[in-house]
Structure 1
Amino acid sequence: MVLEAIRYASDHLQILNQLKLPHASEYDDVASSRDAWHAIKEMRTRGAPAIAIVAALALAVELTTPSTSHELSEVAEEVQAFIFEKLDYLVTSRPTAVNLADAARKLKRVVEKAGAVSGATGESVTRAYVEAAEQMLVDDVSDNQAIGKHGAEWILKHAESGEDVQVSVLTHCNTRSLATAGYGTALGVIRSLHATSSLKHAFCTETRPYNQGSRLTAFELVHDKIPATLITDSMAAALLRLKGPTERIAAIVVGADRVAANGDTANKIGTYTLAIAAKYHKVKFLVAAPRTTIDLGTKSGEDIVIEERPGREVTLVKGPRFDGASLDLEQVETVSIAATGIDVWNPAFDVTPAELIDGIVTEVGVVEKSDDGVFHLETLFDGSSDSIKPSTIGGL
């Protein structure tokens, strides 16, 4: 059974506190946009898909909570202004994630449309918002499954020929059910390969400094009984060089926090390094991201603002005490692993240039470069981009 990162029923929202993983599974209540803002900022919930859905649903819960609904005006325009203010606030929790901003823009359009209906009331505007936010959660899994299917087929198509082909793949950060409403994107591709007995072995990087790979991805792979091995980030190039039956990597598949119009991709720090290594070793490099992640308004990676995180994430590590034989989950300690006083640079993401990317897989298929070496991502959109779709990508 796939892990649930988000639990939602009517007016009740809970998130799996991913700071406690992999040693404890605890769910936190999210009852307001303020709760969601802090959960996203503190990385208790993470992954561009999940944070967009959590933000949207948190405001839905807030709007339907009696203490809030009693205070809201019956005037449609005033409720619309309230929703707009809350959405703008939620976007500031993770400015790099285009999915969150994209979801906010689309939800605003839903609210505007509801408010423009003759006889619109504050209640009707609220209802329109809540239904749209809930639809994001419903649609997320189906989009992820489509991404997984298209990505798996693409990797097998480009793998060495032979009967009963099985491939080994490498992934970075966490892009599975813990980063989405379910199934996942890059890890959804791995899951799809495994489901069709086409996966020989999966490798995941630890993903320093926040260790999403070792804490989250490894946890999910073990949970789903997928054959997998954890490596440190600095081992990736050496792994790509190996030629053994298990170690020979057919592809690297990663998520994305934002894809620019030219295909430049912002993702968890360390992705760029993997893409360089893949190019040298002639290993396919695939970005798994829904169309909501593609920002045609951002021309290239140079226009993407990179979030910088606190230096203590690099210099400190936290975990339960190990007594030499077992873990004591009641004794959580923070340990310094760096020289006191050293300066730290801690960008949350890096940008991988389009020329290092072989394909971008979305819920409608894989886009490859044209003969002129350019991604034409605009062809993915047929005028339906205003529909409310879930965010289903990697990121932090």
Structure 2
Amino acid sequence: MIDETAEEIAEMRTHSSSVVAVKAARALEDLLDEEFHTVEEYVRALERNSSALRRANPSHASLVTTQHEIVEAVEDVDAETVADAKERTQAAIDAVVERVETGKHEAAEAVAEELADGMTLLTHDYSTTVLEAIETAAENGTYLDVYVTEGRPRYMGRRTARRLAEIDRVDATLIVDGAAGHYMDEVDAVLLGMDCIVDDFLYNRVGTYPLAAVAGDADVPVVATGSSAKLVDEGGFRFENDYRTPTEVLLEPSEGFDVANPAYDATPVDLLDRVVTDAGVRQL
């Protein structure tokens, strides 16, 4: 069952990294229904299955770090029985899920408070935290205009635009990725989700780096938001990019040239104005 979840996570390319982290955490609950003769046997199974889940999508920091957190919560306690180890596992899973989901909501609320009536935003990719922030602001009476980049080659922005179109007081406009600079002089702030921030780089959907650079040249503030579970201390996580199939870019065979399709890029954090998470606001 966990192997099936790992395969599913490997294909969850259009989902928020927080959603992936929660799904992976809950997948470990399958072990709680299995029989183990010793605590050592159970802990080995927990580590083996957690490792499989981490390998399924190593580019998602919140997935990797929360899996380590669950395993360490069990390994660091000398459980006397398998039942005790399982109880500790369940508690760690529940704590991780609560922290990730609560973190997203608190970050979204903090961003919503910053959004003033009549603002024009520009966003990229599909971020559940960004969507919740905009929806919360709108529910509080704020009118917003939002430009949404398509997010090629998987067109994640189309999904975002459709969600925004369902929200009262929000006028959404879908634009091609290359048009961000054309519309930047109308924009009050660029609002981005994040896969993770590691050391001095924001890792997010490819296209984020040039978007932040254009915003910086136009003196438009760039705000990244998400759960604090996506903030990784130095040495705690090594980002691995996801290189997707060339057929997402070009359906017909390429003749005489290669097709590159990285899923993420690295944006220097000095191109950001601030990072908003449940842990607070980090000015940059």
CA contact (8 A) 1:166 1:197 kept: no
Q: How does 1:204-353 map to 2 (within 5 A)?
A: 204-214=148-158, 216-225=159-168, 226-241=170-185, 248-262=186-200, 264-298=201-235, 304-316=239-251, 336=252, 342-353=257-268
Mapped partners of 1:223, 1:358: distance in 2: 29
What's the counterpart of residue 195 of structure 1? 139
Q: What root-mean-square deviation, in Å, do the aligned CA atoms of Structure 1 and Structure 2 show?
A: 2.3
Cα offset for 1:49? 0.5
CA gap 1:133/1:365 in 2 versus in 1, 3 angstroms: same
Partner secondary structure for residue 204 of structure 2: strand
Q: State the partner residue of 2:26.
A: 57
Counterpart-to-counterpart distance in 2, 1:94 and 1:309: 12
Of the three residues 105, 123, 127, the one matched with 1:145 is: 105
Could you give the per-residue CA deviations for residues 173-197 of structure 1, whole angstroms, max 9, x where no partner exists?
1111xxxxxxxx2222222322222
**Rounded Cα–Cα distance in structure 2 between residues aligned with 1:364 and 1:59:** 27
Question: Which amino acid in structure 2 is aligned with residue 293 of structure 1?
Answer: K
Which residue of 1 is the match for residue 38 of structure 2? Answer: 75
Q: Partners of 2:37 and 2:144 in 1: how far apart? A: 59
Contact 2:131 2:164 in 1 (8 A): no
Aligned match for 1:362, one of 273, 277, 280: 277
Structure 1 residue 341: Cα displacement? 5.9
Name the structure 2 match of 1:171: 123
CA distance in 2, matches of 1:362, 1:56: 21
Q: What amino acid is the match of 2:36?
A: S
Shift of 1:82: 0.3
Query: 1:42 and 1:341 mapped to 2: Cα distance?
Result: 29
Secondary structure at the counterpart of residue 59 of structure 2:
coil
Q: Which amino acid aligns with 2:44?
A: A
| Amino acid in the other structure paired with 1:102 | T
How many residues end up aligned between the 2 structures? 283
Gaps of 5+ in 2: none
Mark the structure with the bigger radius of gyration: 1
Instruction: Identify the residue that residue 108 of structure 1 maps to in structure 2.
Output: 71
Aligned residue in 1 for 2:7: 38
**Structure 1 unaligned runs (5+)?**
1-31, 157-164, 177-184, 242-247, 317-335, 370-396
Among 88, 113, 135, the alignment partner of 2:51 is 88
Q: Tell me, what secondary structure is at the counterpart of 1:279?
A: helix
Task: Tell me, in whole angstroms, the C-alpha distance in 1 between the residues paired with 2:95 and 2:12.
Answer: 24
Q: Is the 8 A contact 1:154 1:366 kept in 2?
A: no
Aligned-pair CA distance for 1:198: 2.3
Shift of 1:75: 1.2
Secondary structure, counterpart of 1:204 in structure 2: strand
Change (3 A) 1:230 1:113: same
Shift of 1:139: 4.2
> 1:196 & 1:78 partners in 2: Cα distance?
52
Q: Do the aligned residues in 2 keep the contact of 1:74 with 1:123 (CA within 8 Å)?
A: no
Q: Provide, for residues 75-102 of structure 1, a one-character-per-residue CA deviation record: whole Å limited to 9, x for no partner.
A: 1121011001111111111112111111
Give the Å deviation of 1:299. Answer: 9.5
Q: Residue deviations 1:96-132, cap 9 Å, x none?
A: 2111111011101221245x13xx2223322322333
Identity %: 25
Deviations 1:248-270 (Å, cap 9, x if unpaired)? 211111111121233x2010000
Q: Which amino acid aligns with 2:163?
A: E
